[in-house]
Chain A
């Protein structure tokens, strides 16, 4: 028998029926639902007079529209005033579990799913959110879906999908001091391009990945979609099992033992075939910052903005020129030293406890520069509590950072905070697209340490130098 990849194995175990022409009806084990993309999915159910097939497998959280400043309620901004009650009403109507604002379990779905033990190795996890690939950090098959597909999942707990082809990226070497997994994945996206993984699922492999914590693996998988892959995944191992065990919705006792036995089989066979099989050496990777309007526009923080004249083709040349015009940088310019107005630390990419610790380490003993407004937004209420238990909130506020409530916040330019056209923001999130953080706002993606350093310096700087 031909070798199977990790994704093949999970896929095969979820095929309800082959519907023909290479499409499978795939069972969905976990459906996460947030406020922004769900309303019309529930409308579709009402229009067709169908209910939710498996309400016990559906979980929601209002995360996108909610204000992330302290003391918030759904009334804190007009968008959440519309979307949060709508989500509540839809969840109540169908008897679904909502982790509402104010609940100790509230947070960004891709943070709370793993945290609560809902995301488990070998499960299929979908959400109307492209960063559902984050869940691949635990060996789950997670991918984003559209609103029509959400309606399909609600009604049938399944989806019609084409099996992706497989790509593997093996990381070798080790990360230098003060270089984060975020830097490694930004470097990787820049090297292969924003469309390298189109139509594929990416398995991240190798000794370096095996040495990463579950949270770090989630950061890597989170950005798989920025390489064009709907799915990013790391084979589950003891690190994963230890992370998962004892979480609320995870199996316990003999059920856990049986699950672990199965999860151990979820590795790509030696003979498995990958359409693409690439190796990235992590050793020389420097802290990354993006200069343009795609995560693929990442360069070492001590590097220079490229020249459109060096672009591989005419369309890319025009894209680079347009990006430079929008971001306000010039060919050959160094990013280090560029003054910034905003710093955002948080999101489903970098809103976990280890991310906040990395930022705090840089911020400790310093002050946010007078030209900067810096927000730290925990990815979940649980992350917030854990950070407060170790005093990170006091460290941040003492240094002049604002300490927010859980939510997506500034990543999609929401959160009750408004950046002005032309504002420059160093952000630990995942997208620097034109207008993403607000009309005309210029985003530079970076790791938590780089973002924290920009906050205290007031300009982009090399985190290897320290604050």
Chain B
């Protein structure tokens, strides 16, 4: 995973609530790759041409490395293609009022930093960023520097932060914890034996699919 330390550049304001992952990464974009399909329902007009009102179609936000969004960004489907689509567009950081939970988690597995800011702070940042002047997000200091200067502090879970800084996803770390899980399962088997399908699930699937006999 690519590490995240400091990102600086135009931050595109997409200040709509509930921008869902079906919109971020449509299953029916029909344009081949993730980058071309990203945001298709908002980005293209019914005739297939660019929608001039969509922020990522406007200079200087084409190729922006940051997105500013409203409430509940990334709600809906769990599809990680939503984050992959943002990466394909070159977006490394999304700053929003709130996020869909699954999308929020997916960001950290892909070197994308999701930042939550209060409505008023975000609104001021969006107003400043609208000119296309660069915004800087520094994960080492957990601050955002708006075009006019100053520093907006932001909160990020310390473990998540450290993994992003080091470029580690959960699996990189989790593989080392397999022994802990096996130990948990050994004691849990006594507490909750009904969870563990001993002998393998396949063997318990009756060939006629009509279920096993009781007993």
Q: Which A residues are within 8 Å of any B CB, using their own CB?
A: 13, 16-17, 19-23, 25, 27, 29, 36-37, 40, 44, 48, 50, 53-57, 59, 95, 97, 103-105, 120, 122-123, 128-130, 143-149, 151-152, 155-160, 162, 164, 194-195, 198-199, 225, 228-230, 246-253, 255-256, 258-259, 262, 294, 296, 315-316, 318-319, 322, 326, 412-414, 421, 431, 433-436, 438-440
Contact = CB atoms under 8 A, between A and B. Distances in A.
B146 interface: no
Given A151-B171, A431-B76, A249 B197 contact: yes
Given A56-B197, A59-B201, A433-B20, 5 more contacts: A54-B185, A160-B173, A246-B211, A253-B214, A439-B41
Contact of B209 (A29, A104, A160, A247): A104
B90 interface: no
A16 B28 contact: no
B77 A155 contact: no
B181 A157 contact: yes
B22 A434 contact: yes
A27 B181 contact: yes
Contacts of B170: 148-149, 152, 159-160
Contacts of A319: 16-18
Contacts of B22: 431, 433-436
A195 B26 contact: no
A74 to B, nearest CB: 18
B46 interface: yes
Given A56-B201, A246-B214, A255-B194, A315 B15 contact: yes
A426 to B, nearest CB: 19
17 contacts: A17-B180, A53-B178, A103-B209, A143-B102, A148-B80, A148-B110, A199-B98, A228-B100, A230-B102, A249-B197, A252-B215, A315-B70, A322-B16, A434-B42, A439-B26, A439-B28, A440-B46
Contacts of A95: 200, 202
B49 interface: no
Contact of A248 (B23, B158, B175, B206): B206
Contact of A129 (B78, B185, B202, B210): B78
Contact of B78 (A20, A23, A130): A130
Nearest to A127: B78
A155 B106 contact: no
A23 B77 CA distance: 23
Contacts of A23: 157, 159-160
A341 B28 CA distance: 19
Nearest to A22: B157
Given A27-B185, A155-B174, A156-B177, A56 B27 contact: no
A16 B177 contact: yes
Given A146-B106, A195-B17, A435 B78 contact: no
Q: Would you list the 3 A-B pairs with minimal beta carbon distance, nearest first?
A: A104-B209, A148-B109, A195-B72
Interface string B186-205: 00100111111111111011
A88 to B, nearest CB: 14
A130 B158 contact: no
Contact of B76 (A16, A130, A198, A248): A130
Contacts of B195: 29, 120, 123
Nearest to A418: B28
A4 to B, nearest CB: 17
B179 to A, nearest CB: 10
B114 to A, nearest CB: 12
Given A128-B78, A162-B157, A194-B72, A155 B178 contact: yes
Contacts of A259: 192, 194
Contacts of B95: none
Contacts of A246: 211, 214
B196 A147 contact: no
B175 A256 contact: no
A60 to B, nearest CB: 11
B208 interface: yes
A155 B176 CA distance: 10
Contacts of A122: 192
Given A53-B182, A59-B201, A156-B174, A37 B80 contact: yes
A149 B170 CA distance: 8
Nearest to A296: B18
B99 A48 contact: no
B46 A421 contact: yes
B178 A156 contact: yes
B175 A195 contact: no
Given A56-B197, A146-B78, A252-B214, A412 B159 contact: no
A439 B181 contact: no
Given A146-B109, A156-B177, A44 B18 contact: no
A195 B204 contact: no
B30 to A, nearest CB: 7
A145 B76 contact: no
Given A105-B205, A120-B194, A146 B105 contact: yes
Given A16-B184, A20-B159, A195 B98 contact: yes
Nearest to B99: A198
Given A16-B180, A198-B72, A148 B202 contact: no
B79 interface: yes
